[in-house]
Structure 1
Amino acid sequence: MVFRSPFPDVEIPDVSLHQLLFGDIADRADRVALIDGMSGASLTYGQLAGAIDRMAAALAARGIGKGDVVGILSPNTPYYAVVFHGILRAGATATTINALYTPDEVAHQLHDAGAKMLFTVSVLLPNAAPGAAKAGVTDVVVLDGAEGYPSLGELLANDHPVPEVSINPAEDIAVLPYSSGTTALPKGVMLTHRNLVANLVQCGPILSDVGPHTRILAVLPFFHIYGMQVLMNNGLYIGGVVVTLPKFELPEFLRVIAEHKTDRVYIAPPVAVALAKHPIVDKYDLSAMKMLFSGAAPLDEDLADAVKKRIGCKIAQGYGMTEMSPVSHAIPDGREDISIGTVGVIIPNLECRLVDPATGEDVGVGERGELWCKGPNIMKGYLNNAEATAATIDDDGWLHTGDVAVIDADGVVSIVDRVKELIKYKGYQVPPAELEAVLLTHAEIADAAVIGVRDADGEEVPKAFVVRQADSSLDADAVMAFVAAHVAPHKKVRVVEFIEAIPKSAAGKILRKDLRAREQA
């Protein structure tokens, strides 16, 4: 049974992302597009478009064009948008890198993506430089300047011609973010210009209250598809103001809402905990905030109600995946009758099915099934990984999300379980296989497996089951410290249990269900 949006399909223009966002900005050239929440510095739409052209010209002069990949390793600033859209304007592909990545993780993504160039900032240079070197990337630009590296200002101060590039929106890859998908190690998600354009247009009927008057607080990172599309690109698409913050620190977060009167704030669930419980919240005037929208991980309904009562704003949540550019479901603006505990309705132009994982048969209203989706926002595939692509998107074009959902008679969807193994820690993806690979490099670990467990705050955290080598006296603290030295902070193992053997199937696959059963015993 195929489920569709309660909204009619929308027309998706056959244009590049740059054409959609900047094709005609004459009426808003003098309006502010981006504000640096830390300094107050701003860019108008005209200045932004001009800087993007200069960036594209500089890249073309350095030999960057169609088929090339350029990395961005930076926190949120207004100039992230300049670099990001300059890369696309030049016809190249942007691969956005987690700002918390270690040198090895940076190197892996740059190498896997085939990047020729990297943009970063001075504070991240200790990880960016060795990562780029290991990946063989010698062209590194430090946006705010560093000795021995070109700066953003130097690149923009050029008089090269803006390249004339022909984009095939349906085929040309605009961005290459990395996602673990349903399992395994991070993979490059090939999102075309059409994928990104489609999802912005598809979300239009859902986000009906936004427009040029909207002021968006962008603290969710632009390297993540949520921040990239829902905050940065959608903010520019609607002609609003995007106020950037480089990281989440509660006092600064609250100050920016109060001072810049951001009326639409996008978060991941851990921020909601602070808004509901921290006493400092009462010291700031948050009356400008009209909508708090949560995504990236499930938002507890009781927690959402607590925030709503304390602040007095509307709260909604949505669902999506990097592989879906990313939004597939959301609670529409004005639909306060829909429970905050749901992910709302299907967006236009998207078809969904619920399929019993055991039988492969479709299920109907009120029944649990794995959520499958098909539409113009579905990725082209995983970079250089036909096997993983085929395991995620079937021959009929259905993307298997790995999440179990229920749809009610009104078309409202709830995510109720997960088929996939991926751990979601504070909205960040943590693939167990990646942590297991790190653990197995320790000389005193014979075998290991990782699952997600709930901590005292209800947050899903990585737990490692470890089999010691004979005669080893390895303890939990040593295991956690070892992993922490090799991965980004959000991937750290936070609980360790030593066991005699890792349960595995006859084929050697880790039986995570058996490990989860130990937790519930």
Structure 2
Amino acid sequence: MHTELSAAEKTRATMEAESIQSNFSSSTGIYTSPFPSLPLLPSSPPPSLPSFLLPSLPLSSHPAFIDSATSQTLTYSSLTSLTASISHTLTHSYSIRPNDIILLISPNSILFPPLSLAVMSSGAILSTANHLLTRRELISQVQDSRPSLILTTQSLYPKLLGLIPRPPVLIDHFLQTLTPSQTLTTTPNHAAALMYSSGTTGRSKGVICTHGNLIHVASALRRIWGTRNESGKKDVYLCVIPLFHMFGFSVFVCGAVAAGATVVVMERYSLEGVLEAVEKWGVTRMPAVPPMVVQMVKKREMAKKYDLRSLKEVICSGAPLAKEFRESFVDCYPAVVLSQCYGLTETSGPITLCDGVEGNLHHSIGRLIPSIEAKIIDVCTGESLPPNKNGELCVRGPPIMQGYLNNPEATSLAIDEQGWLHTGDLCYIDNKGLVYVVDRIKELIKYKAYQVAPVELEEILSTHPGVEDVAVTSFPDEEAGEIPMACVVRKAGFEMQKDELVAFMEDKVAPYKRIRKVMFVEFIPRSPSGKIIRRHLKDSDFVLQRPEISARL
């Protein structure tokens, strides 16, 4: 006898079906990856990232890294032997010992990967820094990490001299002193890398990543992206994002090498250089940051002069990419998939990827990589939330950092007793297991009893024809607590008035989300990955004597 389901039973059945599809367990409140779990690392002998990557590679003449400007090539065979020789020289000629920290400061170069892997192979810990930092900024990082040795280039040598008792070692001179070695030293599964977080929401902290963290990311990227593309050939990656950053390091040194791909390395970014490299080297996949994607959209006419048929995917990460530019990119480059991924320095690289998601445009940041678990927790109650509910993204699994260097308090605040890393990002996961970022929780504007996400307002403001760049932040207000304030860079030739922007937003958002103060600025402070450094928007030097307008509350 057929019995019609009640409304409650229908709702429960729908939720159960959605939970299965989204890999959500209503009993535990945990989302799991749709990809099969990776095998556990062998406990004996203890693996290191170099011993995981290099011995498993065929000693072949297949290009591992190519210098985009000079065509100088490092094959997989030479990558293996060069890494071994550098490691041997560090140990025997420079007295480097296990757990010593070596600071590598250099622009992108095909020598960056073998130097990095050699440091780890010697048992030392690799640390990196943005070569654009000032001497004052570098002093702070050096005092925190206390490296035993600094490896750098001739142009950077002057600002690094005297930071530690030992003079900096020039990479070119160092390579002339190499002693040959045919074996790689394997090290225990201890700290492999010390990379500093961007510091956009506070003081930069040293993130300790183990060999196991990095091996897992390398394994996951190799499994998801595969070792060959659809045509049966090895992928060719274009490396424009900095290798000193965890995004670049994890994708190009860990993932691409694990997959046996070829990486074309550019020392510095220029759109013309990117387009030339894609055409010359047959680039198939290009990890990017939002400013690169935006420029490709704005200068689409330049791109028409180049043969970009080899390019199949652009993977954007590092900061939010406005919806307008996501959609415009696909219109401009219909044969290229625009996907997004998500990761932190604290997660040792990407932990979500859009692989397998249909279509040429991915508004989500993809699905969880193998062996990663996630929770979306209510910001106020801490309770786990089901699909399509906004909350803080918390993640757990093998790629999660060991902790912050010499900062147990910050470590305990970031990673709770159950091993969950609290990302600080407001996200939701939909019925298909796709993750979406709403905004940074700390950057939410508290207007009266409402929470306003700056990214949402920035996406709308960026569609105004007179806006070149924009950032939204909070401004203190006695009645409301905080009000949304827009910092706007005007496009050349536009005599836009501030009240015009206020009016532009009025019918596009709820009343509590409306822009209530506008400030015209010459630039928006951003990190190398394209993130808006919102704390700088509130610095007195930045806002001093800036003209502004306030709208009625």
TM score, norm. by length of structure 1: 0.78
Judge conservation of contact 1:206–1:331 (CA < 8 Å) in 2.
Answer: no
Shift of 1:275: 0.9
2:77 corresponds to which residue? Answer: 46
1:102 paired to 2:134: yes
User: Deviation of residue 460 (structure 1)?
Assistant: 4.1
Is 1:37 the counterpart of 2:65 in the alignment?
Answer: no
Q: 1:58 is matched with which residue?
A: 89
Alignment of 1:300-449 (within 5 A): 300-311=322-333, 312-332=335-355, 334-337=356-359, 340-421=362-443
| 1:87-98 equivalences in 2 (<5 Å) | 87-98=119-130
Shift, 1:396, TM fit: 0.8
Corresponding residue SS for 2:126:
strand
Q: 1:290 to 1:498 in 2, by over 3 A?
A: same
The yes-or-no answer on 1:81 pairing with 2:95 is: no
Q: Is the 8 Å Cα contact of residues 338 and 360 (structure 2) preserved in structure 1?
A: no
2:218 to 185, 188, 200: 200
SS at match of 1:155: coil
Q: Which deviates more, 374-383 or 48-57?
A: 48-57
Decide which of 183, 188, 203 is 1:168's aligned counterpart. 188
Query: Aligned pair in 2 of structure 1 residues 186, 155: CA closer, same or farther (>3 Å)?
Result: farther
In 1: Cα distance, 2:270 partner to 2:38 partner: 38
The offset of 1:12, in angstroms, is 3.8
Distance in 2 of aligned mates of 1:355 and 1:182: 23
CA distance in 2, matches of 1:461, 1:59: 48
Q: Distance in 1 between matches of 2:529 and 2:437?
A: 28
* Deviation (angstroms), 1:92: 0.5
Kindly report which structure 2 residues correspond to 1:421-500, keeping only aligned pairs within 5 A, or say none: 421=443, 456-460=467-471, 493=536, 496-498=542-544
Determine if contact 1:266/1:293 at 8 Å carries over to the other structure: yes
* 1:237–1:2 Cα change, 3 Å: same
Question: How far apart are 1:420 and its partner, in Å?
Answer: 3.1
Kindly indicate whether the alpha-carbon contact (under 8 Å) linking 2:378 and 2:390 is maintained by their aligned counterparts in 1. Answer: yes
Q: Which one of the candidate residues 150, 170, 177 is aligned to 2:195?
A: 177
1:464–1:493: 8 Å Cα contact kept in structure 2? no
Partner of 1:435: none
Query: Aligned equivalents of 1:388 and 1:223: distance in 2?
Result: 23
Task: Return the offset for 1:463.
Answer: 9.8
SS of the residue corresponding to residue 148 of structure 2 reads strand
For the Cα contact (< 8 Å) 2:208–2:402, is it kept in 1?
yes
Measured at CA, do residues 337 and 258 of structure 1 come closer, stay the same or move farther in structure 2, by a change above 3 Å? closer
- In 2, Cα distance between the equivalents of 1:519 and 1:69? 53
Distance 1:300 1:336, change over 3 A: farther
Distance 1:488 1:7 in 2: 28
Deviation at 1:399, TM superposition (A): 0.2
Structure 1 37/138 Cα, relative in aligned 2: closer, same or farther at 3 Å?
A: same
Q: Following TM superposition, by how much is the alpha carbon of 1:141 offset from its aligned partner in structure 2, in angstroms?
A: 1.6
Distance of aligned partners of 1:152 and 1:258 in 2 relative to their CA distance in 1, 3 Å threshold: farther
Q: 1:5 to 1:488 in 2, by over 3 A?
A: closer
Are 1:268 and 2:314 matched, yes or no? no
C-alpha separation in 2, matches of 1:46 and 1:315: 33
- Matches of 2:249 and 2:157 in 1, distance apart? 22
- Mean CA deviation greater in 455-464 or 358-367: 455-464
Kindly provide the amino acid, as one letter, of the partner of residue 105 in structure 2.
L
Q: Cα gap change, 1:391/1:519 in structure 2, threshold over 3 Å: closer, same or farther? A: farther
Higher gyration radius (CA): 2
| Alpha carbons of structure 1 residues 498 and 101: separation in structure 2 relative to 1, 3 Å | closer
Percentage of matched positions with identical amino acids: 29
The CA distance in 2 between the partners of 1:464 and 1:101, in whole Å, is: 29
Distance in 2 between residues matched to 1:296 and 1:488, nearest whole Å: 5
* Cα distance per residue 1:163-200 (max 9 Å; x no partner): 8745222xx11110101578421111000000000112
Q: 2 CA distance for matches of 1:413 and 1:20?
A: 30
Superposition RMSD on alpha carbons, in Å? 3.1
Q: Deviations over 1:185-216 (max 9, x none)?
A: 11110000000001121234432475661110
Deviation at 1:493, TM superposition (A): 4.6
* Structure 1 stretch displaced more, 205-214 or 236-245: 205-214
- My pick for the range that moved more, 388-397 or 232-241, is 232-241
Distance 1:57 1:519, change over 3 A: farther
Q: Which amino acid aligns with 1:290?
A: K
Paired residue type of 2:136: D
Amino acid corresponding to residue 236 of structure 2 in structure 1: R
Q: 2:426 and 2:361 mapped to 1: Cα distance?
A: 18
Q: Secondary structure at the match of 2:251?
A: helix
State the distance in 2 between where 1:336 and 1:250 align: 28
Amino acid at match of 1:184: G
Residue number in structure 1 paired with 2:145: 113
1:8 aligns with 36
2:50 is the alignment partner of 1:18: yes
1:339: how far off? 5.5
Counterpart AA for 2:153: V
Structure 1 residue 13 displacement after superposition:
2.7
Deviations 1:247-305 (A, max 9, x none): 11111111111111111111001101111111321211111111111111122333123
* Code of the aligned partner of 2:543: E
- In the TM superposition, what is the alpha-carbon distance from 1:330 to its structure 2 partner? 1.4
Q: Report Cα offsets for 1:374-394 as digits up to 9, x if no partner.
A: 000000000000000011000
Unaligned runs of 5+ in 1: 145-150, 423-451, 466-479, 500-516
For the residue of structure 1 that corresponds to 2:364, the secondary structure is coil
- Give me the whole-angstrom Cα distance separating, in 2, the residues matched to 1:359 and 1:378: 24
Question: What is the alpha-carbon distance in structure 2 between the residues aligned to residue 380 and residue 182 of structure 1?
Answer: 21
Contact 1:301 1:340 in 2 (8 A): no
Q: What is the match of residue 14 of structure 2?
A: none
Displacement of 1:497 after TM fit?
Answer: 2.8
Q: Which amino acid aligns with 2:225?
A: L
1:220 aligns with 2:252: no
| Most deviating of 35-44 and 9-18 | 9-18
1:518 deviates by 7.7
CA distance, structure 2, for counterparts of residue 143 and residue 122 of structure 1: 8
| Aligned AA (1:64) | I
Deviation at 1:370, TM superposition (A): 0.2
Contact 2:108–2:266 under 8 Å retained in 1: yes
SS of aligned partner of 1:206: helix
Tell me if the contact between 1:60 and 1:163 (Cα under 8 Å) persists in the aligned partners.
no
Tell me, in whole angstroms, the C-alpha distance in 1 between the residues paired with 2:342 and 2:253. 18
